[in-house]
Each structure stands twice: as C-alpha cells, then as structure tokens.
Amino acid sequence: MITNKKLNQKIGLIGFPMDLGADRRGVDMGPSAIRYANLQEKLEHLGYKVTDFGDIDIQISETQRIKNTSLKYLPEIEKTSKILAGKVETLLNKNYFPLIIGGDHSTAIGSIAGISNYCRKKNKTLGIVWIDAHADMNTESTTPSGNIHGMPLAVALGLGNKRLTHINGFSPKVKVENVALIGIRDVDFLESKNIKDMNLTVHTMTEIDKLGIHRIIAKVLSDFKNKVDYIHISFDMDGIDPDFAEGVGTPVPGGLTYRESQLLMEMVADCGCMNSLEILEVNPILDNKNKTAYLATELIVSALGKNTLYN
C-alpha cells in the first residue's frame, strides 16, 4: 500500500547547477550526482511518471567578476532565479509536481518565487518547511561572507535586496507564520537578530534532541494543514549529520541522523500534503562514492510515498 495520495501524479524534474551562492565549489555537480543515483528510476518504480526537464544554464564563476562583495554574483543569480521561477510556475500550471535538485540553497530564491506566484494567482496560502543546519536568514547587511546561499529564506520573507526579494514583482513570497525551520544548529551573530525580529519558528537540534523529531514534524504538519493549502519542502542536505551526509556544501556536526531524516520524510508522505520539493547542497567533491546523493534520492522517494513493507 502506498500512502501518498498523489501517486500517478506526474513529476517534473529540474536541475539547478548553482554554486555561485557559496564559497566552496562543487555543489554545481549536485544535480548530476543525484541523477546518477538513479532518481528517475526509483520514482518510476513507485509508479510516477517522471519528465526530466534538464538543467537550467548557469554561467560559471570564472567568467564573472564580483562587483558587490556583500552579494556575490548577484547578476547571474538574479537572472537564473527568474528563469527557475518561470519554469517552476509553468510546471505547476501544467499539473506537474515540481522536484528541484540543486545546487546551493540560493536555488530556493527562484523556486519559491515561482511557487509563490502560482499560489497568489490560485488564491492558495503557501507554507514552507525548511530543513537545514543554517537559518539562511542573512541579508546583505548582516552576511559575514557575502554568499547568497545564506540568504534565501530572508529573501522569501521580504528581507534583503529588492533584486532578489521582488522577483515577479511582489514581496514577501511567504508569511513568516507559515514557515517552520527544522534541524538548525549554526546561526550567525547578526542573522539571529533577523530571526528574532521576524518571530520565526525555529526547531533547533537542541529541541529535536529533547522532544524527538516525530513530535516536532507532526506538530508542524498538523499546524500547516490547518492554515495553509500548499506545502513546499526545502531540504538542505547539510541538515543531516555529516556522519551520514558528508558530501554537502557546508557540513556542521550534530545534525539529523539517517533515521531522523527518513522519518521526517516518511511523515511528509503520510501527510499527503506536500506540493513541491527541492533537495539542495549535495557536494560530490566532499562525498564518498556518491553516498550523499544516494541518500538524497532515498529521502525524495520516502517523501513521495516509498514504504518499507510494500515497495
């Protein structure tokens, strides 16, 4: 028995080989590594119809100059985020389930811009579950690095540079009360002020240690079921402990275990309430025999209804 109610739905896969948002090079190879880990085959085995729409073209850093050290590679990230936003919105309008594989977490700037524009036109309320070691709540005025992959949640909430916050001409893309962060364990000093000022819901690793991942994700999903009618999952693979996911953009010890991350995704499937999914920050250069990309594909199929006993 497959619990996910969306079975037989068609999945539209988009790769976003972006690493301009991060200092460490390598996550641009994430989409390739995840495809190599048999993603499409695993999804088809579950009964989905999968169309791979390929990667979005992104220029490499060697062909660009950094003009603003607080917002590195802003022009290319802005340009490609707009393309991604348009493609994701088109997929939703054609009744595809969008599955976006990154790429660093700046990918979420474009994906969420497209999803939010779709929700706005269809009068749907968007909720976002953000799984990550980091809060990604920096702006150009708080960032210690200038790396845009530390900013995408702030951008979605309307904080930061207008060229990012106002893609598709409106902001914020999601209301702060409809966002939940899970797995957080590394927040920058000034970034924490943005979190407090916004009154953002953050489930830190400390809270997960105390209460258990089951209780936290159950509460997040039941709250969301009452107040939103579209759920996007933004999953940064560095939310998982480097013991299980060493090939990530920015590894931080003390993260979700293999089983905690699986249970989280299985509960998302049981909920039957996920409308789009993105998996980010797989870095094959730091990985061991593509293990982290394989884990990414296992998490994707779990979220889409793979069940231990029946398939």
> Residue 234 or residue 262: which is nearer to Mn ion going by CB?
234
Q: Which residues lie below 8 Å from residue 276, measured CB to CB, with a gap of 6+? A: 88, 92, 97, 98, 99, 100, 111, 115, 232, 233
Residue 132 contacts Mn ion per CB under 5 A: yes
Is 136 labeled as catalytic in the residue annotation?
A: yes
Residue 105 contacts Mn ion per CB under 5 A: yes
Q: How far apart are CA 280 and CA 253, in angstroms?
A: 18
Assign 3-state DSSP to the chain and report helix, strand, coil percentages, each to 5.
45, 20, 35
From 36-44, 219-227, 232-240, 301-309, span contacting Mn ion (CB under 5 A): 232-240
Is 105 labeled as catalytic in the residue annotation?
A: yes
Is 19 labeled as catalytic in the residue annotation?
A: no
Is 45 labeled as catalytic in the residue annotation?
A: no
From 22-30, 62-70, 89-97, 233-241, span contacting Mn ion (CB under 5 A): 233-241
- Least distance to Mn ion, CB of residue 105, Å: 3
DSSP per-residue codes, 42-85: HHHHTT-EEEEEEEPP---GGG-----TTSTTHHHHHHHHHHHH
Is 52 labeled as catalytic in the residue annotation?
A: no
Residue 55 contacts Mn ion per CB under 5 A: no
Number of amino acids touching Mn ion (CB under 5 A): 4
- Least distance to Mn ion, CB of residue 207, Å: 18
Tokens of 122: 């269809």
From 19-27, 64-72, 194-202, 228-236, span contacting Mn ion (CB under 5 A): 228-236
How far is Cα of residue 148 from the mean position of the Cα atoms in its chain?
A: 14
Q: Decide: helix, strand or coil at residue 234.
A: strand
76, 89, 104, 136: the catalytic one is 136
How far is Cα of residue 14 from the mean position of the Cα atoms in its chain?
A: 13
Residue 136 contacts Mn ion per CB under 5 A: yes
> Residue 105 or residue 203: which is nearer to Mn ion going by CB?
105
Is 287 labeled as catalytic in the residue annotation?
A: no
Is 238 labeled as catalytic in the residue annotation?
A: yes
Q: If you search the block for the tokens 């039957």, which residue do you land on?
A: 272
Please name every residue paired with 279 in a beta bridge, in sequence order, or none if there are none.
101, 235
> Residue 151 or residue 271: which is nearer to Mn ion going by CB?
151
Q: Decide: helix, strand or coil at residue 41.
A: helix
CB-based contact 142:190 (threshold 8 Å): yes
Residue 241 contacts Mn ion per CB under 5 A: no
Residue 236 contacts Mn ion per CB under 5 A: yes
Q: How far apart are CA 170 and CA 162, in angstroms?
A: 10
Is 188 labeled as catalytic in the residue annotation?
A: no
Residue 28 contacts Mn ion per CB under 5 A: no
> Residue 136 or residue 260: which is nearer to Mn ion going by CB?
136
Residue 104 contacts Mn ion per CB under 5 A: no
| Site residues for Mn ion per CB under 5 A | 105, 132, 136, 236
Where in the sequence numbering do the catalytic residues fall? 105, 132, 134, 136, 149, 236, 238, 281
